[in-house]
Amino acid sequence: MIDPFNKQLLLKRMPGLLPMARAAFSSSCASRLFPIYCRIHEQDGSGDPFKLKATLDYCWDSILADSNDEAGSKFHLQQVEDLVGIAYSSSSVFRQYSQDATSIVLYSMLALTSKNVEEPIWAVQCIYESVARYIASKEGVLLKGKQGLKGLKLASRINSSPLMQLDCSRELRDLEELSRGYSPELALLLRARAEAEPSLPAELIVPSDLPSLSLVQIMHLQDGEFCV
């Protein structure tokens, strides 16, 4: 079984990638999560898929051109930051998915403009949280209170899911290909593949009564700790 969201592995592998390869990896993750944002908009009218897609397209266009202009980057950074703010203030029952879907595009923009190795790792956490939330909601996993699943038991339950294993295998495949050598042609392949491989099923499931803590935080709770 693959170990999803292996942060130590990501921290080890990211510095070895070229900056544009890290941006391509982040944008690939964002493209797989983007469809959930569109489905939420279709369901309740929240969010702005047109603006988010414009920023994601700007990321890919810059990656394929191996450059980005300062004015365009500044505009799209502000645009996606605004969309993140809207997602966090939304009353939609699906707002946590929207938060992940907008934040992951923000991390893609930051990977493009800042060249930091941490941004792709935050992108992976966004996609991990969304997939984990979907699994917990669909399977009715109890997370709150003393009887709530937490720690390694929760991590094992989520990580062993075929849906999580599939998405993680895609990330590792992209990472391995980018590690062997980056090119605009490879980035074009990653883009087309990611757009055809959404991380979440088309079915929208109203999230369970989730606690304020993230799934990753709950996975780090110890005996005697619980969330409300």
Per-residue pLDDT tens digits for 22-58 = 999 999 999 999 999 999 999 999 999 999 999 999 9
Q: Which residues contact residue 85 at a Cβ distance below 8 angstroms, ignoring those fewer than 6 apart?
A: none
What's the CA gap between 120 and 97, in Å, rounded? 18
How would residue 3 be classed by pLDDT, with cut points 50, 70 and 90? low
Note the Cα 162 to chain centre separation in Å: 17
Q: Above pLDDT 90, what percent of the chain?
A: 69
12-20 contacts, C-beta under 8 A, 24 or more apart: 13/175, 13/179, 14/117, 14/118, 14/120, 14/121, 15/117, 16/179, 17/175, 17/178, 17/179, 17/182, 18/182, 19/111, 19/115, 20/63, 20/66, 20/182, 20/187
Greater confidence (82 vs 210) lies with 82
**3: how many CB neighbours lie within 10 A of its CB?**
12
Greater confidence (203 vs 84) lies with 84
Nearest to 108 by CA among 90, 83, 141, 131: 83
Residue 1 pLDDT: 43
Q: What is the pTM of this model?
A: 0.93
Mean pLDDT of the chain: 91
Residue 87 pLDDT: 97
How would residue 132 be classed by pLDDT, with cut points 50, 70 and 90? very high
Residue pair 129/212 in contact (Cβ under 8 Å)? The answer is no
Residue pair 147/227 in contact (Cβ under 8 Å)? The answer is no
**Does the pLDDT at position 218 exceed 90?**
no
